[in-house]
Structure formats: structure tokens, C-alpha cells
Structure 1
Amino acid sequence: MKKLLTSDVYQVRSSYMLDLTGYKTVLQLYQPLIGMEATALYLTLNSELDQMTLTKSPSLISRLCKLSGFSLNSLQESFDKLEAVGLVCSYVKQTNDNRYLFDLKMPLSPQEFINHQILDRLLKDRLKDEYEKTIAIFQTYNVNLNDYQEMTASFTDVFEIHHHEKNILKEKKYKQKIQNSIENSYDLTLFYQGIENLQLSKKMFDQEDEKIIQQLGILYHINALDMQDLVKQSMIENHLNSRLLAQNCRNYYDLKMPEKFTEVFHKQSPLLQSEKQGESSLQKHIYYLENISPYDLLKDKTGGKEPLKRDLQVVESVLTTLQLEPGVVNVLIETTLQKCNQSLPKNFIEALGSQWKRKKIKTVQEAIEEGKAYLKYQNQQHHDWDDFTKDIQIVSQEKSTADNIDEDALAMLEKYD
């Protein structure tokens, strides 16, 4: 979504009115993922719908800020989260003032949510031991139907179709529950190309199978060609076993973890690189850090061996969360290794990276200067502390009593205060 302004105009529409089940689903299942603010925004937008037309007259974004109590930034973040989980589709019309249309989507049913490979996995990770208790809210009582006789009316019991008459009875168009599907972003076209070579056919897969394949492909970042092999391994009597596929995808992800960071670690920004290598050792090192990816730098540091999965995850967090330049991250890696005895503690590197982000460090040279200043300060602090402890030991040895600290010791303490 474009950056919102208070002077922008927005309108809300929907294809349904949120019912009690949908309301509970949003609060109990979606809220742990998107947070309280995004949930409140979704419910606020629903409350503005006219019950007859399911639309709202145009208003200024400033009204939405006042209703929700959110800043523009909070409002923007909440909309992004709602769009990401498929609860809102946003459209903009370019005029003198931007005119936004927020199309509210129906939340998945509780069963659809639980069967969703991505959303359900995220919910489990977020709720942990509270997951089962939350899911139990939506479980229904299972009735033994053996003692019952079915009396459901069939289609022909209700409708009579006359093909040759002018007025043909048509089925009522009931309110549709429309969702903006997350899995649509995973294209199955490439998946179906060449599956004949694996003795598979498109006819073997129904819509549910395709949805599972798409969800697992997005969740574990598996491309369509690799997914073909995993699906082949998960076929039992020419039918896709979804549980086996999920297990195979998890195993593949764990085994191929270093390769999964290709998009994050194997790239280096060309915008802030030197055109040529300098003559001094510092210039050569700057050129090196500007032209090597964080992944290859970690590989160099381990003597050409594959970087540890834990180290890759730490650096991935810095790259994606703080969005520092890859060259700056390289300096951050070197500074952390030097300070922390050749290890990459997650808390340390994220804290130092956050400091550099606030200082707007964008080039390798700026990062090197900042890293040197930090290490020099830390070393000075260490030496001062060593001097302090030595002086205190001397004072303690010269005094006959340890119960009272005399004026010399107090003066020494003041010196290092």
C-alpha cells in the first residue's frame, strides 16, 4: 500500500456482514498473528458498513485515525498485516487526492484455518501450550448418527426444472464467503510442467491437493521443480498424502537450510560499491567487504566450509529486520567476531546493528569507522577497569584495616567514578 496521508479519502465495502463465528475466529485465531491493533482496525472497518448496502460513504483517513486512536504509521502497519493474511484487499484511485477502497474479506472458517498449512503453523508457534485450548473453543460435539434416520431433502425434492419454458427456475444466489487466498502467490504452472517425467498426472490432484502444495511451498520456500520430487515421494496408491508431504517438506527444509538463504545472503548491493580497488590495505579491505556477500564472508571466516545454520539465521535476522546494506552487515559480522571471541551472539549483533541503523550507517567505510570507535571504546573501558582493580588492591595492601576506607582509597574511587 502507498503511504497514507490524513487528507486521503477512503471507502469500505464487503460482500458479507461479519457473523458471530467470524468475529470469534478473528479474535481467537487471527489476532495472535496480526496483533491487537490490526484486529481492532478490521473490526472498526466492519462496524462502519451499512447493513443494507454493505458499503460506507467516503471519509477522510483522518477520521479513521481519530476512531482508532492510531498514528498514520500504526494505521499503515495494521493494513499491511490485514492484507498479508487475506482479510483486506486495498485499491487506490489516483486523483487530486488519493481515494482508497478497502474491500473486507471473510475470515477463513475455523476448520479451514486449522487445515491451512501456513496460518495454523504460525498459530502453533505463537501460542505454544495455549494452542490446544484455543482450538478447543471451535470444536463441536460429535453425535453418533447410528440411531438417527436421515431426512434431508434432495435437490429434486425441492426443484422442478422445465427446459423448454421461458421462465426457468434458478438457484438462489446465497451470500458468498470470499477470501483473498494467500496460496495464490505460489504459481503451479511450473509445477505441472514436466511431472509426466515422474509418472505423475495433473488429474491425480484435486483442489485440496493443490492448496496443500501451494501452502507448503510458500511456508518452506520450496520452488516448483523441487516440489515435484517431494510430491512424488508423498504419493500413496496414486493419491497425495498431505501429512507425508508436510513431513517431507520439513525434512527438505532442514536439510537444505543453507541453500534457502540464497535470496538473502548471496546478494550484494551494487549501489554502494567502489568502482575500483585502492592501494592501501584499508582500501583493499573496503573493496573486499563491498563486493562479497554476507554468506561468502561467513564461508571465508570458516575456512571455506559451509556456515553454521545458527549463524545464518542470526545474520538473516539482521538483514531482514534492520534492512542494513549487505556491506554494512559484513562489517557488523567482523566487529562482532572480534569482540565476541569469533562467535555471533544474536542479542549482541542485533543490539549493535540497531545502533548503526539509528545512526544511519549506509557505507562500508562509515561502518568500519563506527566499528573501530566501538572496539576502541570497549578496550579503553576494559583497561580502565583493570587499572582500577590494581589500584584498589595496592591501597588495600597498604592499609592495616579493611573495615574503613581512608581518604586515599576514596580519592582513588573518585578518580574512576
Structure 2
Amino acid sequence: MKELLTSDIYQIRSSYMLDDISYKTLLQLYQPIMGMEAVSLYMTLYSELDQITLTKSPSLISRLCKMTGFSLNELSQSLSKLEAIGLMSSYKKKSQENRFLFDLKMPYLPHEFLNHPILNDLLQKRLKDEYKKTVSVFKVYNVNLDHYQDISANFTDVFDVHYQGKEVLKEKSYKQKIHKAFEDEYDLSLFYQGIENLQLSKKMFTKEDEQLIQRMGLLYKINALDMQNLVKQSVVQGHLGKRLFSRNCQQYYDLKMPEKFENIFHKQSPLLHEQTGKSSLDKHIYYLENISPYDLLKDKIGGKEPLKRDLQVIESLLTTLELEPGVINVLIETTLEKCNQSLPKSFMEALGSQWKRKKIQTVKEAIDEGKAYLKYQGKQNASWDEYTKEFNIVSHDQKQEDIDEDALALLQQYD
């Protein structure tokens, strides 16, 4: 949006009427991303429309400033947000530099928004713990229709069409809900330049393929030149392999993405406790309180670098649930024991969320919860002394390679 002046003239038009679900979508889904100023401006613009013609007579920008209480700079910023997210397009009249047309677009329907790979991802990152509660607002009660009989009337049961008479039944012309395509921001013309050198042709790609390329390009910030190579790697028997292409884009992002989360992985508990007891349990608690999740994962695989996928799971727990690193360490060991030495994201998030709700903040509390969980799952509980005897747990004063033996014994004690 160019810089506006109070003497500029604007006019509004739209192609639809806003309904209740549109208002709800704007407030619950769009507002967390854009902010209330942009949503307020959108509703103000819509309120000025004539409800019959869905247009507005020309007015000065100064009127809009007075209506909203925005300065010119604030107004321009909010208009730019509406344009960027696809709720509005702005046009300048060629013969009059100071005359603008604001074309309001239809908000996405809730299911369209929540299935959008970019908007939904932004909403999750902004809302964090509140995301599920917000999504539940739009859930519809689903009925199992297997237990019902369809008794709906057919078209011919209600309407009688007379082609020769004057009262010919005409098909209703339903309003078309128009919204600006978010994917249009990715320029495919640059992508298509030079693909012949890679033995690719524009005719190979369908409209659906192009939309996927645009979405992946925006989501993973892939430039046109790199995109050409990624598409080339993803062509199978003359067609774009969508799953292979998505996986290649993810791998591209992983390789290009700077290790900006390293400080999170290396984070330790703010309260590093002194070693107070001499039992193997006390020593293991001290160990988990004084090692970072990153180093713990490294210990588990013999000093090698942890997999990026595992680090991403831990990063998500540390940033989204904000669990203490020591508690995360117990969660890691509990998951490894329960899930055959793997770290499934869904399992860790579910158990981690439960611990967050229970306000688990110390390693000792987490160990007790881990034991209670595994016991609830039907495993036999045993005393610490029994397991130290059975598995011959060694002291943490021994060399580093013995640490995993002690950790394993503690996990067995959870059982």
C-alpha cells in the first residue's frame, strides 16, 4: 500500500454479504495473526457499504482516519495487513493518482483456514496452548448416519419444470464467495524460466501442481532457482510426485535452516541442585537436573549428534509447554522406555501436556508421575532397591559411558 494523504479519495466495493460465521472467523482466526486494528478496519470498511449495491460513494481518506481514530501511518499499516493476508485488494485509478478502490474479499471458511498450510501454521505459533480451544469453537457435532434413514425430498418431488410455459424454473444463482489467493504471492514466472534446461516442460504441471509449488515456496522460503531443482528431483514418470516433493522441500528447509534452536536444546534447569543423597536414585536425579536435553539425547546414542527430528520434538516441548529441562529429561527417558527407544511426537506431547496441567516442575515429581503412568498402563511396580539389585546400577561417579546403564535402570524402575 502506497503512502496515503488525507486528501486522497477512496471507494469501497465487495462481492458478498458477511454472515455470522464470517464475523466469527475474522475474530477467532484472523485477529490473532493480524491484530485487532486490521480486523477493526476491515469491519469498518464493510459497515460503510450499501447493503443493496455493496458499494460506497467516494470519500476522503480523512473521513476514514476520523472513523477509526488511526493516524495515516497506522491506517496504511492496517491496510497492508489486509492486503497481505488476502482480505482486500487495493487499486489506484490510472487517470487520478489520488483516487483508490478498496475491494473487500471474502474471509476463508473455518475449515479452509484451518487446512491452509501457512495461515494455520501461523495461528498455531501465535496461540500456542490456546490453539485447540480456539479450533473447538468451530467444531460441528458429527452424527453417525449409519443409524439413520435418509428421508430427504428429491428435486422432482418438490419442483415441476415446464419448458414450454412461462413459469420455467430457473436455477438459483448463488453468491460466489471470493477471496484473494494467498499463493499468488509466489511468482511462478521465475520458476518456469530455465526449466527446459532441466528437461522439464510447463505442460507437465497441472493447476494443482502449481498451487502446491507456490505453497511450498512460501512456506519454506524457497527461491525460484532452488525450486526448479527440487521439482526436478520430485518428478516421477513425467509427473510431480506430491509426497516426494513435500519431503524434498522439508529436507531443503532443514539443511538451509540455521541452528537457531541450539540454545534451547542446551538449556539446563535454572536451579542446579547439590547432590544430597548417595543412593542410585539420588545420583540419577542429580544427573538429570544438571544435564541439558541435548546432551542427554547425545548420551543415549553414544555421543553422536541427535537426529534433527528428535531435537524438533524437544524444542516444541520446551517452547510450547515450557516444561523445565529436567522434567523434559525424565519425559525423554520415560518415552524411550515406553516406545521401544523412539521418541514419537504425539506421545511426548500428550504426556507432556498432562504433566504441565499437573504443574510438574522438579525431576523428582516427574519421576513419580512417570512411575504412576507406567503403573496405570498395567505394568507391575517395584521398589528402587529391587531394581538396583536386579540391574546392578552403577554410580554416576564412574566414567561417562556408564551413565546410560544408570538411566536405563531408572527407567526399568518406572515399571
Query: What TM-score, normalized to structure 1?
Result: 0.53
Matched residue type, 1:117: P
1:177-326 aligned within 5 A = 177-188=177-188, 190=191, 193-194=195-196, 197=199, 202=204, 205=206, 207=208, 209-224=209-224, 226-227=226-227, 230=230, 245-257=245-257
Structure 2 counterpart SS, 1:17: coil
1:306-385 aligned within 5 A = none
Gaps of 5+ in 1: 259-417
Matched residue type, 2:93: K
Which residue is equivalent to 2:8? 8
Structure 1 counterpart SS, 2:35: helix
Q: Is 1:29 aligned to 2:29, yes or no?
A: yes
Which residue is equivalent to 2:58? 58
Which residue is equivalent to 2:127? 127
Q: Deviating runs (4+, > 3 A) in structure 1?
A: 94-97, 149-162, 164-171, 187-203, 223-248
Give the superposition deviation at 1:210. 3.7
Contact 2:192 2:202 in 1 (8 A): no
Structure 2 counterpart SS, 1:117: coil
Report the CA distance shift for 1:210/1:134 in structure 2 as closer, same or farther (over 3 A): farther
Larger deviation: 61-70 or 88-97?
88-97
1:143-154 aligned within 5 A = 143-150=143-150
1:366-405 aligned within 5 A = none
Matched residue type, 2:56: K
Query: What TM-score, normalized to structure 2?
Result: 0.53
User: Percent of pairs identical after alignment?
Assistant: 60
Give the superposition deviation at 1:67. 0.9
Matched residue type, 1:46: Y
Report the CA distance shift for 1:229/1:170 in structure 2 as closer, same or farther (over 3 A): farther
Give the superposition deviation at 1:221. 1.8
Deviations 1:222-241 (A, max 9, x none): 23454455457668999977
Give the superposition deviation at 1:62. 1.0
Report the CA distance shift for 1:199/1:182 in structure 2 as closer, same or farther (over 3 A): closer
Contact 1:110 1:138 in 2 (8 A): yes
Report the CA distance shift for 1:56/1:219 in structure 2 as closer, same or farther (over 3 A): same
In structure 1, distance between residues paired with 2:223 and 2:134? 33
Structure 2 counterpart SS, 1:55: coil
Q: CA RMSD in A?
A: 3.7
Contact 2:204 2:239 in 1 (8 A): no
Give the superposition deviation at 1:117. 1.3
Contact 2:50 2:56 in 1 (8 A): yes
Deviations 1:65-105 (A, max 9, x none): 11101111100100000000010111122566711111110
Matched residue type, 2:180: N
Report the CA distance shift for 1:202/1:240 in structure 2 as closer, same or farther (over 3 A): closer
Gaps of 5+ in 2: 259-415
Q: Is 1:171 aligned to 2:164, yes or no?
A: no
Deviations 1:204-254 (A, max 9, x none): x563x5433311211212234544554576689999776765454233112
Structure 2 counterpart SS, 1:100: strand
Deviations 1:5-47 (A, max 9, x none): 1111111111011111111111111111111111110011111
Which residue is equivalent to 1:73? 73
